[in-house]
Amino acid sequence: MIKSYLMVVKQDEKSQNIANILKEKLNGILEYNESEPDLIISIGGDGTMLYALHEYFHLVDQVYFIGVHTGTLGFYTDYLADEIDELVADIKKGEYTINKRAVLDVEVIDENGTAQYYALNEMRIENPHYTQVLHVYINEEHLETFRGNGLCISTPSGSTAYNKSLGGAVIHPDLEVMQLSEVAGIQHNAYRSLGSSIVLGKEQTVTLTCDRFDGVFIGIDQYSYNLKPFKKINVSLSSHSVQCIQYRPLTFISRIKRSFIS
Ligand code: NAD
């Protein structure tokens, strides 16, 4: 039973106004709780939802997420700014389904230990300055030595984001898989990698190693960090998932259509 909520709001005037109106309308229906909410409402865009997720990842197993978009509709947002009354009515009615969204576990292992990250869209290793060489292993078996700008490993939710721009497949979010896609891979007679995306499952871990680290960075959703020399990076599907609450039916196909086709 959902009793409490908190809001994560984009720092623009429109989003702040919508948040104030929503807070007023939810008065007496749900309690505002900063530390242990049942529901997190993001108000802004897909980036705000990603921010909310990272900010409250420690609650991910016990909290539901929902998004209100204050611009055009996004991928993680079910309501528009002018649909606040519908959202309040739906919360009051209390009929919903939960869609679990896969998350990636990313371990960066160096001499000092292991740094752990979680990604809802994708993790990527990229180098805008030099050709990046990456040795790719699947369950410790060597797949290829990649050369190019980098590699991107995405979740099904992230398959419609950066992965899609890389020519990767759009994957239904009900599938528990991850997709490895190339960023400008070099393909010629001296160097060759797979050249297409590869979809992997729960039983697989992708391990990346490399020999040269100048200019290389790691991207996790909307964040990026310079990478210090690392021994290896392990990427696998996490045992955690993000629980997106859905009050009204909105199929994956209709999300794709409204975002990319019509
Ligand atoms: P941003 O403001 O640069 O937005 C990038 C766009 O990606 C926005 O239109 C956003 O709505 C959209 N987006 C985010 N997640 C999505 C998803 N799961 N499916 C479809 N579209 C999605 O950055 P942001 O809003 O903070 O989002 C960060 C994401 O931007 C990254 O995780 C990455 O996937 C994406 N991105 C894409 C490209 C590209 O396509 N060339 C480049 C950089 C980052």
Tell whether 46 and 151 lie within a shared domain.
no
Residue with CA at minimum distance from ligand 1 atom 25: 47
Which atom of ligand 1 is nearest to 122's Cα?
Answer: 32
The residue with tokens 């929503």 is 22
CATH at residue 125: 2.60.200.30
Confidence of residue 235 (pLDDT cuts 50, 70, 90): very high
Tell whether 184 and 233 lie within a shared domain.
yes
CB 100 within 8 A of CB 120: no
CB 15 within 8 A of CB 70: yes
* Cα(14)–Cα(1) distance, integer angstroms: 30
* Separation of CA 158 and ligand 1 centre (Å): 9
Phi, psi of 136 (to 5 degrees): -110, 125
* Separation of CA 58 and ligand 1 centre (Å): 23
* Separation of CA 219 and ligand 1 centre (Å): 12
Tell whether 61 and 32 lie within a shared domain.
yes
Which atom of ligand 1 is nearest to 158's Cα?
Answer: 18
Q: Which residues line ligand 1 (CB under 6 A)?
A: 45-47, 50, 74-75, 121-122, 157-158, 160-162, 165, 221-222
Residue with CA at minimum distance from ligand 1 atom 39: 162
CA–CA–CA angle 139, 144, 149 (5° rounding): 115
Tell whether 75 and 106 lie within a shared domain.
no
Helix locations, the chain, DSSP H: 13-26, 46-55, 84-93, 162-165, 252-256
Give the chain's domain count.
2
Catalytic residues: 46
Tell whether 79 and 112 lie within a shared domain.
no
pLDDT tens digits, 183-230: 999 999 989 999 999 999 999 999 999 999 899 999 999 999 999 999
Cα 41 from chain centroid (whole Å): 16
Tell whether 193 and 110 lie within a shared domain.
yes
* Cα(195)–Cα(189) distance, integer angstroms: 13
Residue with CA at minimum distance from ligand 1 atom 10: 46
Tell whether 233 and 108 lie within a shared domain.
yes
Instruction: Look at residues 193, 71, 179 and name the one whose alpha carbon lies nearest to residue 132.
Output: 193
Tell whether 82 and 191 lie within a shared domain.
no
Domain boundaries, position 54 = 4-96+247-261
The residue with tokens 């991928």 is 75
Q: Is the pLDDT of residue 74 over 90?
A: no
Tell whether 60 and 109 lie within a shared domain.
no
* Separation of CA 235 and ligand 1 centre (Å): 20
Cα 52 from chain centroid (whole Å): 11
Confidence of residue 258 (pLDDT cuts 50, 70, 90): confident
pLDDT tens digits, 125-181: 999 999 999 999 999 999 999 999 999 999 999 999 999 999 999 999 999 999 999
